[in-house]
Structure 1
Amino acid sequence: MEEASQQSSLQSASQLLSHRPVQQNPRDDEALPKLVLHFAVNPAATVTWRVTADAELRVHSERIWLTRICSPYDYWMNAGETMRLQRGERIWLSTDGHEAARVSLTSAWHAPRTVLARVSRLFNSVFRVFAT
């Protein structure tokens, strides 16, 4: 009897959850347009990368080995798997396959900052220091 009541309560809870509208992350809209870098990791080679913006690493073919400087663990990722990477972290990638592994890094695209924008930002920060 108890199992039947637990199953019915689980079913009603799952029905409620399945009908709940999906809330989108407000940062999803900010991530448009996106910059996608596709590259290959050749067998018996190690690729290192310093992530300059929050990104998503996606494996498209073969299996890769991923080491992150901020983690004590190594990861084996198969085709189709993804991992979120944070700005500033360094990663190392290699493959144990006989073919090159195809990988992509996706991040939000940001317009390059011009010298004028940097000078303006510096001026504003200095002005705030003297204004206080």
Structure 2
Amino acid sequence: MQSNLTKVQYFYGLRPGEVISLDFHHEHTLVARGAAVWVTRAGDPADYWLKPGQRLQVEPGRRYWLSSEAAAQAQLERHVSRRFSPLRLLSRWLAGRRAAREDISCPAAA
């Protein structure tokens, strides 16, 4: 059985002491890479320290701030449904091109 989900990933590099803010419009999973990442979010009194490999679900519609004491990466993952695989789209495009060539090469019946 073929999965209709594909993983979209974004990577943000964090320099020591740098703070970046992110606004999300979709649900994502935040994963710390390389070093611990500090996360705080609007409307939440708690702060989160994610050790490398730890995950945090982020909610759409909230602003998040990320920082780290060492060089780190914040990886965002999101699973999205895909309607057609790239191979399926390519085969449909090729079939359309083939059909167009056949229409041009066939003499029109009068």
Over the matched positions of the two proteins, sequence identity in percent amounts to 25
Matched, 1:54 2:27: yes
Structure 1: distance between partners of 2:81 and 2:19 = 28
Deviation of 1:87 (Å): 1.0
Q: TM-score, normalised by structure 1?
A: 0.55
Q: SS at the partner of 1:67?
A: strand
What stretches of structure 2 of length at least 5 have no aligned partner? Answer: 83-110
What stretches of structure 1 of length at least 5 have no aligned partner? Answer: 1-28, 112-132
The 5-angstrom pairing of residues 17-96 of structure 1 reads 32-96=5-69
Deviation of 1:110 (Å): 6.6
Greater share of strand: 2
Aligned-CA RMSD value: 1.8
- Does 1 or 2 have the higher relative contact order (CA < 8 Å, sep 6+)? 2
Q: How many residues were matched structurally?
A: 80
Deviation of 1:64 (Å): 1.2
Amino acid across the alignment from 2:66? L
Q: TM-score, normalised by structure 2?
A: 0.66
Q: 1:87 to 1:110 in 2, by over 3 A?
A: farther
Aligned to 1:106: 77
Aligned to 1:126: none
